[in-house]
Amino acid sequence: SRIELGDVTPHNIKQLKRLNQVIFPVSYNDKFYKDVLEVGELAKLGTKMLNHVLNICEKDGTFDNIYLHVQISNESAIDFYRKFGFEIIETKKNYYKRIEPADAHVLQKNLKAPCLGQNADVQKTDN
């Protein structure tokens, strides 16, 4: 199947809202979408989204840790997550079926342990 990428603009922002409504079990308030539009680069968007997730986990209080998979060659992603306190705990061979390299690191952030060496700015500024 063919996939195409398109920009999110004030004209079609409602489609994004609709997708989120349907896919995620949580809803985002309007300010979130305003920020989506104001933000230019995906990196900042990623920061906001990840912070949002971390905040939810913190408020909830019952989560022990968060983990994710990253392709071993994706250095910028690995750096990005490490800034938030994620560590590589494992590497899974042939995790991906259709891309090369097929291996993936497992990055994990422990939520119960006190956070040392974290980028304090990242956590405090965006709520």
User: Applying CB under 8 A, which residues contact other proteins?
Assistant: 1, 9-12, 14-15, 18-19, 21-22, 25
| Shortest distance (Å) from residue 82 CB to other proteins | 31
Rank residues 12 and 119 by Cβ distance to other proteins and give the closer one: 12
The DSSP output letter for 66 is E
Q: What is the CA radius of gyration of the chain?
A: 16
Rank residues 2 and 112 by Cβ distance to other proteins and give the closer one: 2
| Shortest distance (Å) from residue 24 CB to other proteins | 9
Long-range Cβ contact pairs of 70-73 (< 8 A, separation 24 or more): 70/104, 70/105, 70/107, 71/96, 71/99, 71/101, 71/103, 71/104, 72/101, 72/103, 72/104, 72/105, 73/101
CB 66 within 8 A of CB 57: yes
Phi and psi for 33 in degrees, rounded to 5? Answer: -70, -30
Rank residues 30 and 121 by Cβ distance to other proteins and give the closer one: 30
| Shortest distance (Å) from residue 48 CB to other proteins | 21
| Shortest distance (Å) from residue 108 CB to other proteins | 25
Rank residues 21 and 73 by Cβ distance to other proteins and give the closer one: 21
